[in-house]
Amino acid sequence: MKVGDLVQLSPRKTRKGMPYDDKLGLITKVTKPTASSWVPKVVVDFDGSLYTFSLHDLEVVSESR
Euclidean distance between CA atoms 32 and 65, whole angstroms: 21
| pLDDT string in tens for the chain (65-residue length) | 899 999 988 776 656 666 666 688 999 999 887 777 788 899 999 888 898 988 888 889 987 66
Domain membership flag for residue 29: yes
What DSSP letter does each residue of 5-58 carry, written as one string? Answer: -EEEE-TTS--TT--SS--EEEEEEEPPP-SS--SPEEEEEETTEEEEEEGGGE
> Phi and psi (nearest 5°) for 55?
-55, -30
The total domain count for the chain is 1
N residues, the chain: 65
* Model pLDDT, residue 15: 60
Domain membership flag for residue 1: no
Domain coverage including residue 26: 6-62
Domain membership flag for residue 41: yes
pTM for this predicted structure: 0.76
Residue 4 DSSP class? T
